[in-house]
Amino acid sequence: MPGPNALTGAEIDRVVDSRRRDAAWIAARRRDPRARAVVLGDAGVRVRAGAVELLPLAEVVDGGGGADDELLLLGLDDHGPVFVVDEDPPTPGRRPSLVGAGGMRGEPAPDAPRRVGVRTAAQTLPQADGGLVAYAAALLNWHRAHRHCSVCGAPTTPVNGGTVRSCATCGSEHHPRTDPVVIMLVTDEPRDRVLLGRQAVWPARRFSTLAGFVSPGESLDEAVRREVLEEVGVRVGAPVYQSSQPWPFPSSLMLGFRVPYLDGDIAGEDDELEDARWFTRDEVADAARGDDSWDDPPAGEGLLLPPRSAIARRLVEDWLEG
Ligand SMILES: [Zn+2]
């Protein structure tokens, strides 16, 4: 049985119940001496000794007082409350950057406090820490970009420990967005091959599964069939769900499918893809044995697959295994 996908598996009680709606309960968690904070910013999450560094909340927030309403409670772990603090809060009126989409900040000394980007966290931290980073990054990215009411335009404030933003002017409540994306491996079982595509901006020889956002009013099955037809011009049958992965850049949920090829020739009618081809099981198996660095791929001539931390790679590996 394959393990969980990267960026999943946070070991935290998100407290999605009536306690979240109790401002006094949230305030008490805030004052709890066991309260700790994940510190996230543009350069990523603070880590120490190969794990997310949870700092005492009072150390992170000036003197333990101040802006309570901007503190976001992720939940409770075995040691107490866990908050997330944005160390690069957005400038009003400017488009906010994405949390931790980059790499490291500076040249860290061994074991010194340092930061890693969310993608690096997915590749290098323990499973539960990667899940915690995905959760914290998704929540912060939403707060950064949703500081005003989408109904009346007035500024909003976080409530319920940050799982809602509330508008005092018109009374609207706003909830964090999660945008569904279908990502699918098209398989041609009779010929034992799979269809992969590549974008022009990727390193040479890198191919991956097809993917696209679900449209309003569309089912997942419809989205899979439409995206494959749009991107490569072939028709596919009924998608079979495989697994999912949060992708907090800023708010996607990747929903992974395997879908059988029906008919049609590959036609490059889509602006997004530079190339799309069928690859045999041998070609894919060779590529799966190779290095998987996204930014610094190995030299050579054969196919390159996405990194192992990506669900695209998982879909391919699952097909190889079974
Ligand atoms: Zn409003």
Query: Which position has the higher pLDDT, 272 or 164?
Result: 164
Q: What's the pLDDT at 64?
A: 46
The model's pLDDT over 73-124, given as tens digits with 9 standing for 90+, comes to 999 999 999 999 998 888 888 888 888 876 545 555 566 668 888 988 998 9
For residue 163, report the distance from its CA to the centre of ligand 1, in Å. 17
For residue 304, report the distance from its CA to the centre of ligand 1, in Å. 48
In this prediction, residues 2-10 reach a mean pLDDT of 92
For residue 153, report the distance from its CA to the centre of ligand 1, in Å. 6
| Cβ 80 vs Cβ 35: under 8 Å | yes
Q: What's the pLDDT at 216?
A: 97
CATH top-level class of 18-174: alpha beta
Q: How confident is the model at residue 203 (pLDDT cuts 50, 70, 90)?
A: confident
pLDDT at 169 over 50: yes
> Whole-model pTM above 0.85?
yes
Which tokens belong to 252?
A: 């996607």
Domain boundaries, the chain: 18-174, 179-321
For residue 154, report the distance from its CA to the centre of ligand 1, in Å. 5
For residue 162, report the distance from its CA to the centre of ligand 1, in Å. 17
Pairing of strands 72-77, 173-174: unpaired
Query: Which position has the higher pLDDT, 58 or 103?
Result: 58
Q: Which of 240, 249, 244 is nearest to 141 (CA)?
A: 249
Give 149's contacts (C-beta < 8 A, 6+ positions apart): 155, 156, 167, 169, 170, 172, 174
pLDDT at 42 over 70: yes
For residue 159, report the distance from its CA to the centre of ligand 1, in Å. 14
For residue 181, report the distance from its CA to the centre of ligand 1, in Å. 29
For residue 166, report the distance from its CA to the centre of ligand 1, in Å. 8
For residue 39, report the distance from its CA to the centre of ligand 1, in Å. 30
Same fold? 18-174, 179-321: yes
The model's pLDDT over 239-296, given as tens digits with 9 standing for 90+, comes to 999 999 999 999 999 999 999 999 999 996 667 899 999 999 999 999 999 766 666 6
Residue 317, CA distances (Å) to 4, 64, 93, 281, 302 in order: 13, 48, 44, 11, 17
For residue 174, report the distance from its CA to the centre of ligand 1, in Å. 9
In this prediction, residues 41-46 reach a mean pLDDT of 90
Burial of 29: CB neighbours in 10 Å, binned 0-12, 13-18, 19+ = buried
For residue 157, report the distance from its CA to the centre of ligand 1, in Å. 11
Query: Which position has the higher pLDDT, 247 or 68?
Result: 247
Q: Chain centroid to CA 201: how far? A: 20
For residue 155, report the distance from its CA to the centre of ligand 1, in Å. 8
For domain 179-321, give the fold.
Nucleoside Triphosphate Pyrophosphohydrolase (3.90.79)
